[in-house]
Amino acid sequence: MTDLVKENKLLDAVSQAFKIKGKVIRNRRVEVYADKNMVSSILLFAKKQLGYIHMAHMTCVDWIDQGEFELVYTIYSPIEKITLFVKTRIDRENPEMENIDSIWDQANTYEREMREMFGIEFPGLVGEHDFILEDWDQIPPMRKEFDTHKYSAETFFSRPGREDAKEVRDELSKRSGTIVPDFAKKYSRE
């Protein structure tokens, strides 16, 4: 469609200023891969110099096989109408990341959520430790090693009969006088 002029210009500006790699995903989507220590300066540079004044989102991906967390900072320029993703990898064992809520205030909320859901520490982060969860005494629930099915089976009371729904199928076939196909088995969770 277009030849992605604006996107390539942005990628060049960021990658030349910081000597980092990146790529243009499609029109209006650009991502760069940065080292952990460079993230705050990239964000500040993008905010002050390039006009990426809006922080849209900040999230975390758990790469358990590689032993890393990937943090994704999503920022947006209302003038250029481009979304820039700044991605960085941090260690999974002692996850710690720089606190950026002095650049954008709303980062505080995302960082508190990540502290609770993934156990990532942000030094200097203000706010109570109980954010969304209450009385949580397990490992952070969004980590991939947390077995939510097992936890649910241990903590909550499951009602018998939901595995195959046989009673319901028998009742249905009795009422309609036909044999109901074994769809529950076909689509069962096992």
Partner 1 sequence: MENDKNSQKIVDYIQNFSRKHSLFVLAYGTGCGAIEIPATMTSRYDAERFGIRGAATPRQADVLLITGYLSTKTLKRVIRVYEQMQEPKYVIGFGSCTINGGMYYDSYNTINGLDQYLPVDVYINGCMPRPESVISGFVKLQELIQDGKANNGEKYRENLEHYRTNQKKIIKNWKMPDYNW
* Distance of alpha carbon 121 from the chain centroid: 16
Comparing CB distances to partner 1, the nearer of 52 and 118 is: 118
Residue 91, classed as helix, strand or coil, is strand
The encoded tokens of residue 185 equal: 């088995």
Rounded to a whole number of angstroms, the CA Rg of the chain reads 24
Q: What secondary structure letter does DSSP report for 56?
A: E
Q: Computed from CA positions of residues 33, 37, 42, 44, in that sequence, does the dihedral angle turn out positive or negative?
A: positive
Residue 5 phi, psi dihedral angles, 5° rounding: -70, -50
Comparing CB distances to partner 1, the nearer of 23 and 162 is: 162
State the nearest-atom distance from the C-beta of 156 to partner 1, in Å: 4
List contacts with partner 1 (CB under 8 A).
132-135, 137-138, 141, 146, 148-149, 151-153, 155-159, 162
Comparing CB distances to partner 1, the nearer of 64 and 132 is: 132
Residue 18, classed as helix, strand or coil, is helix
State the nearest-atom distance from the C-beta of 126 to partner 1, in Å: 22
State the nearest-atom distance from the C-beta of 127 to partner 1, in Å: 17
Comparing CB distances to partner 1, the nearer of 41 and 148 is: 148
State the nearest-atom distance from the C-beta of 128 to partner 1, in Å: 14
